[in-house]
Structure 1
């Protein structure tokens, strides 16, 4: 066990000492290497999207366990849950009027679960809610997404309002986790179940991003043209990448803590 930990400790120590630009470069290299590995071992890349849905469901299950068994919502951001409910509700509306499919059912289940989490945090477990740590104003997240959706949205035959709402939910999903990351940054220490939940979100986002990137490569870019024209196809792909990179730093410290035998994740200043 010690022999295994020493190389890992040496590697994490070396990475930690690198300047920010080198860390960003190493993250990109690691991401590209993982994409190459997935492309070689996963023949049907649609399975990556299914895997992302499964990991996301696993993260929600851990969140439910925390709320029902531990009777506390400490470390969780109510604002992130509200933003999640917001983009899911908008996406469900768009699904019903534009492209009803199996993901509509999955989003419905996720929305119901998210609304239950919000109810628990607002009423049943309000005393353990860290209101002072959850201090990122929602309009800082919502307003830029709304403005961007007015400028860049799908160019389809659907009603213009529906197309703008579709763009809004894509952009909002990409940044909905920011209040949760702010809570963890303010607290500096992330307890296990919150850490597991956010790490599951990070893995799910990476798998979803890998699905899109590999699909674009497999179709030689035809997938982007199938999504429409103008800037919208590129913004869809960029939103997936942004979601992944937002959570990448936390996932690094999570993995580092797990390999170090720690149950809690300790975040240095400036992570979020």
Structure 2
């Protein structure tokens, strides 16, 4: 019951987020700087999911695709930050929270392996890739934002 309820909550908040992005806050979209081509993330993630998965069935390939895509999904935001050379305060805090959430998974993997002997190489490799993508941002966040400065990339 809890799992089903949480899935509905997740879907409802996802739909609400999509509504807010495309309807309520549409005017805040930065067309000039958002030039990242998402097919460069989607197509390799799909190809990798078709080639490397636990079992070759529809749901397993979809799950694997979502894991691979999640690991690189932050690239458009990081690309936008690198293109503009700076990030709003709320954006930098958001990116730090996302990176921290992913980095905390490492402790979960260690705990699960120590207590259950369980590990998922697909999730671990994708999670490490995602965490590595955040490392440069973490350095800038710690050296700039936590000292009260605006996040600007070095020239």
Note whether the superposition's TM-score is higher than 0.5.
yes
1:154–1:166: 8 Å Cα contact kept in structure 2? no
Structure 1 Cα separation of the partners of residues 7 and 91 of structure 2: 22
Among 118, 141, 146, the alignment partner of 1:223 is: 118
Task: Give the secondary structure class of the aligned counterpart of 2:92.
Answer: helix
Which runs of 5 or more residues in structure 1 are unaligned? 1-99, 225-232
Higher radius of gyration, 1 or 2: 1
Q: What are the superposed Cα offsets for residues 238-261 of structure 1, whole Å, 9 maximum, x if unpaired?
A: 111111111121121111113432
Among 192, 213, 218, the alignment partner of 2:89 is: 192
1:137 aligns with 2:37: yes
Given the superposition, is the C-alpha separation of residues 107 and 252 from structure 1 closer, same or farther in structure 2, using an over 3 Å criterion? farther
Among 239, 242, 259, the alignment partner of 2:126 is: 239
Structure 1 Cα separation of the partners of residues 122 and 97 of structure 2: 24
2:64–2:122: 8 Å Cα contact kept in structure 1? no
Structure 1 Cα separation of the partners of residues 51 and 31 of structure 2: 34
1:213–1:237: 8 Å Cα contact kept in structure 2? no
TM-fit CA distance, 1:214: 3.7
TM-fit CA distance, 1:112: 3.0
Corresponding residue for residue 126 of structure 1: 26
1:209–1:244: 8 Å Cα contact kept in structure 2? no
TM-score, normalising length: structure 2: 0.86
Q: How many residues align structurally?
A: 155
Given the superposition, is the C-alpha separation of residues 267 and 107 from structure 1 closer, same or farther in structure 2, using an over 3 Å criterion? farther
TM-fit CA distance, 1:213: 3.1
TM-fit CA distance, 1:114: 3.4
Structure 1 Cα separation of the partners of residues 14 and 69 of structure 2: 15
Given the superposition, is the C-alpha separation of residues 205 and 108 from structure 1 closer, same or farther in structure 2, using an over 3 Å criterion? farther
| RMSD (CA atoms) | 2.3
2:85–2:153: 8 Å Cα contact kept in structure 1? yes
Among 115, 132, 147, the alignment partner of 2:15 is: 115
1:211 aligns with 2:98: no
Corresponding residue for residue 202 of structure 1: 99
Which runs of 5 or more residues in structure 2 are unaligned? none
TM-score, normalising length: structure 1: 0.52
2:45–2:69: 8 Å Cα contact kept in structure 1? yes
